[in-house]
């Protein structure tokens, strides 16, 4: 029973010390997070004022839609303070895991793009190259292979949107 009491005291002290460690949420302080996008000084509020320029091709349109869902929690920005430009997404497919008859059973889809954030005066304030890799199975049926490839493409585009959101939040949290 004494080990249980010692363990309880140790857990209580650990929890008490961890509350004063100084960590803050990435998207601002706890009070700012409760205010959300209505507070223009919070990271969420600053990101909701970024205008997203058009991105070429179908993959670019899907990426832009993912970004709109992630950044605009209370509608399109009425007064944008910055513009996000994203280059055309380049795709490269690599066949992996070859059989004895030189048929691929696994493929990899690599997507690469560049993002540039410009302020309202047109100055570049943030520039990044983004890359993501998704794998999919190459099946006996061509239809099934296309379905798995589209699912991998959708997953890769969602990952690009996550990377862009993370880069924007890190940029705005440092200001």
Give the pLDDT confidence of 60-83 residue by residue, as tens digits. 999 999 999 988 877 787 788 889
Output the pLDDT for position 26.
57
What confidence score (pLDDT) does residue 49 get?
Answer: 84
Strand, coil or helix: 13: helix
Element (H, E) at 118: strand 104-119
pTM across the whole model: 0.74
Residue 37 pLDDT:
46
Given a cut of 50, the residues of the chain with pLDDT beneath it are 32-33, 35-37
At 77 the pLDDT is: 77
Place of tokens 């890769």: 156
CA 78 to mean position of chain CA atoms = 24
Q: Are 43 and 169 in contact (CB under 8 A)?
A: yes
Domains in the chain (CATH in brackets) are 2-173 (3.30.160.150)
What is the reported pLDDT for 40? Answer: 59
What CA–CA distance (Å, rounded) separates 61 from 48?
Answer: 19
Q: What was the pLDDT predicted at 67? A: 92
């Amino acid at each position: 029973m004494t080990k249980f009491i010692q363990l309880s005291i140790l857990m209580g002290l650990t929890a008490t010390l961890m509350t004063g460690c100084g960590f803050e949420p990435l998207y601002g302080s706890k009070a700012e997070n409760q205010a959300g996008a209505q507070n223009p000084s919070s990271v969420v509020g600053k990101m909701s004022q970024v205008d997203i320029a058009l991105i070429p091709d179908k993959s670019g349109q899907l990426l832009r839609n993912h970004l709109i869902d992630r950044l605009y929690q209370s509608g399109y920005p009425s007064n944008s303070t910055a513009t996000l430009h994203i280059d055309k997404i380049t795709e490269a497919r690599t066949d992996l895991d070859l059989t004895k008859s030189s048929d691929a059973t696994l493929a990899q889809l690599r997507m690469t793009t560049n993002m540039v954030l410009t302020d309202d005066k047109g100055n570049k304030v943030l520039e990044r190259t983004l890359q993501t890799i998704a794998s999919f199975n190459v099946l006996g049926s061509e239809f099934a292979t296309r379905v798995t490839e589209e699912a991998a493409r959708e997953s890769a585009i969602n990952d690009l949107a996550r990377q862009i959101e993370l880069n924007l939040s890190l940029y705005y949290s440092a200001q």
